[in-house]
Structure 1
Amino acid sequence: MQDFRKLLVWRSAHELAVMAIRHTARVPRGNAELISQLRRSTASIGANIAEGAQRNTPAQFAQFLGIALASLAESHNHLLLLRDARLMSREHSDEMLAIVDRLRLMLLNLQLRVRANAAKSPGHRAEYKHPPRTTLIPEP
């Protein structure tokens, strides 16, 4: 377990969540649901990093980093939608999208390092990997 506030990746996630709150304060009211989704998804990134950092094993931490990555992808989607619908200024959206790109790399790198540590930890059991699913699409 570690203090999540010392993690640079958590600080970047926190910065993104604060920006989401500040930069969406002036978005027209008819878009409250989209704004709410963006705020929740950005807050979820840091929350999952924090929760994972408090878990007992590196494997559990890596799992929460994966959830944070999923929340980051959701946030990315919402930001693109707000930008393309011109509900957020280009300046604010570009600033936030740059943080999204940087944060994705930070999360992926940390997840790789944590997984490597999990594989080295005593008592580690190899996880079963399900074979990839294939979906057959009928040809026209």
Structure 2
Amino acid sequence: MRDYKKLEVWKKAHELNLFVYLHFLPKFPKSEQFDLLSQTKRASYSIALNIVEGSGRFTEKDFAHFLDMALGSAHELEYCSLLSRDLTYIDQEFYQQINQFINEVKAMLIGLIKKLRG
């Protein structure tokens, strides 16, 4: 078992989640409250939650499995931001900012997954 709070990838995913909650979600119109906004929120916190859940597992294989799910959620969040841009909820500059943040988390997840599967 690992202390997830010591994992750099969890720290970055937590920062991303806070960024989504504080800066991205408020940009959605009220009409999206139960649709894209809700899906974006779930994808965002699912990244960190899967890292937390996986860190509580005893085997590297189990941990890697949860990191795979976190990576899937990161891809989902990436698409939510793309769709939000195309629907003009966010501008290109904000899209590039959040997309860079998401890509950093994805790269960290991929690196850790590769390390665990060595």
TM-score, reference length from structure 1: 0.78
Q: 1:31-70 to 2 correspondence within 5 Å? A: 31-32=32-33, 33-70=35-72
User: 1:93, CA displacement in angstroms?
Assistant: 2.2
Deviation at residue 21 of structure 1 after TM alignment:
1.1
Equivalent residue number for residue 81 of structure 1? 83
Pick which of 18-27 and 105-114 moved more.
18-27
Whichever structure has more helix as a proportion of its residues is: 2
Q: What is the TM-score with the length of structure 2 in the denominator?
A: 0.92
Deviations 1:51-74 (A, max 9, x none): 101101111000000001111111
Query: Which one-letter code corresponds to 2:66 in the other structure?
Result: F
Give the 4+ runs in structure 1 shifted more than 3 A: none
Count of paired positions: 116
The equivalent position to 2:101 in structure 1, one of 99, 102, 116, is 99
Alignment partners' CA distance in 2, 1:24 and 1:57: 35
For the 8 Å contact 1:24–1:88, the answer to whether it is kept is: no
Consecutive unaligned residues of structure 2, counting only runs of 5 or more, are none
Q: For residues 18 and 45 of structure 1, what CA distance do their matches in structure 2 show?
A: 12
Aligned to 1:26: 27
Name the Cα RMSD after superposition.
Answer: 1.1
Residue of structure 2 equivalent to 1:138: none
SS in 2 for 1:2: coil
